[in-house]
Amino acid sequence: MTMAIVGLLLALAIGMACRWLDIPLPAPPKLQGALLVVAMSAGFLAGDYLFG
């Protein structure tokens, strides 16, 4: 659970740093791409829970 919280905080920090430094956000600009990232993250967490 703490790793998920750390991951979310790190993602927020990277997003804020990209915005502050005017660096293009390292994420897909379309909703389908963002959903793909969420699905991959959920799959990673589920795999960690089931196999870890």
> Would you give per-residue pLDDT tens digits along the chain (52 residues)?
788 788 777 777 876 777 788 877 666 778 877 777 787 777 777 777 888 7
C-alpha distances out from residue 51 to 3, 35, 42, 43, 46, Å: 15, 24, 14, 12, 8
Say what the pLDDT of residue 26 is.
Answer: 64
For the entire predicted model, the pTM comes to: 0.51
Say what the pLDDT of residue 51 is.
Answer: 81
Say what the pLDDT of residue 32 is.
Answer: 76
Say what the pLDDT of residue 25 is.
Answer: 65
